[in-house]
Amino acid sequence: MKQFFIFVKKEWLHIWRDRRTLVILIGMPIVQIVLYGFALTNEVKNSRVAVFDQSNDDATRAIIQEINASRYFSVTDYVHSYQAIGATFRKGKIRLAVVFPQDFQNDLLQRNTAEVQLIADASDPNTANTLTNYAAAIINDYQQRVDENRDLPYTIKTQLRMLYNPELKSAYNFVPGVMALVLMLVCAMMTSIAIVREKELGTMEVILVSPLRPFRVIIAKTIPYLAVSILNIACILVLSVYVLNVPINGSLLLLIAESVLFIVTALSIGILISNGARTQQSAMFASMLSLFLPTLLFSGFLFPIENMPWPLQLISNLVPAKWYYNIVEAVMIKGLGFSAIWKETLILVAMTVFLLGLSIRNFKIRLA
């Protein structure tokens, strides 16, 4: 046991004495959580709109004014031909164009039907979709207000409630996702480098001839990084609550326990990668390429998993970040207890045991 602690101490000194790296390891998650927490948002705000109004009457002016007044849009360009709309789109200035035909108000009042065209720049289909829907809703509202004066019979009155996030803040969705992303990458990369580095610099020989068993060598290597990661998670949680105003509605203790579990999963992935790699360079690239994009895409916070083709849905089950994201969302935002997340927890535990077992089995006690 004493040998073991000496080993832990050795690892700790490696980290502690390389102050620059330590600053990077602790500073990186802090900067990222703040930056992404504020900047990653798909709320549309003040999207630029061009108007091609061939009618120019009270009704069209009222609708334009309402579009301009909503927080989603600001009407910036008035154009006088379809060609001009194309030109404005190509310059990348506007996202949406609203076209009113001639005699809009007349048609609306006399013939009871009038047309309006919404042209979206669908080169970003996601935003285009959202914008046309919002604009259609504003026009719809206007129409209903026109109708209201008539006191219609047989009216269904819908009441709407937004649960968990009434202000529709993006941070509620993104903060748990960013937590999963940052923890996974930082933890896995740190450990994968730590082991390969000894190989590359030749100090691995010394470790391999030491009386410590491979199992213990690996555990000793990860413990200091576990400590750094727990410090990271503490920083992330404090920032989420006090800077990004994302509440912790559930149990803080449960959240921390689950985070530690996820960190251990990430650390074991790091060890596994380091077993296969010969140089620090290949270890770093392996962890980066196999973790960054898959974690980003398959955890479900950016792209809904249920939209993916089924083989990818199956793959997404192998991404630990997906389960952790579900857990954080349930505990932090929905305020649920352990009974709601036992399945996810079990999956993470199983993954960790499997990965650790695999990396210990593959730990080579001879240099090639």
Question: Where in 323-362 is the site for another protein (CB under 8 A)?
Answer: 326, 329-330, 333-334, 336, 340
The encoded tokens of residue 296 equal: 């980003």
30, 60, 70, 136 from 66: Cα distances, Å:
40, 10, 6, 12
Q: What sign results for the dihedral spanned by CA atoms 275, 281, 286, 292?
A: positive
CB of 264 to another protein, least distance (A): 21
Is residue 70 near another protein by the rule CB under 8 A?
Answer: no
The encoded tokens of residue 132 equal: 């046309």
| 364 three-class SS | coil
Q: Which stretch binds another protein (CB under 8 A): 209-217, 233-241, 255-263, 302-310?
A: 302-310
Residues 73-112 that bind another protein (CB under 8 A): 86, 89-92, 95, 108-109, 112
Q: Which one of 84, 260, 284, 358 is in contact with another protein (CB under 8 A)?
A: 284
Does residue 174 contact residue 38 with C-beta atoms inside 8 Å? no
Residues 27-66 that bind another protein (CB under 8 A): 28, 31-32, 35-36, 38-48
Distance CA 309, CA 312 (A): 6
Is residue 149 near another protein by the rule CB under 8 A?
Answer: no
Residues 246-265 that bind another protein (CB under 8 A): none
Q: Which one of 88, 173, 191, 259 is in contact with another protein (CB under 8 A)?
A: 173
| Cβ-based nearer residue to another protein, 101 or 214 | 101
Residues 112-131 that bind another protein (CB under 8 A): 112-130
CB of 69 to another protein, least distance (A): 18
| Cβ-based nearer residue to another protein, 61 or 197 | 197
Q: Which amino acid is at 353?
A: V
Nearest to 289 by CA among 189, 156, 364: 189
Nearest to 302 by CA among 174, 179, 201, 140: 174
The encoded tokens of residue 268 equal: 């074991």
Q: Which stretch binds another protein (CB under 8 A): 5-13, 226-234, 235-243, 299-307?
A: 299-307
CB of 352 to another protein, least distance (A): 23
Residues 151-170 that bind another protein (CB under 8 A): 152-166, 168-170
Nearest to 70 by CA among 143, 163, 137: 137
What is the total count of residues that contact another protein (CB under 8 A)?
122
71, 103, 146, 362 from 109: Cα distances, Å:
29, 10, 10, 78
Is residue 289 near another protein by the rule CB under 8 A?
Answer: yes
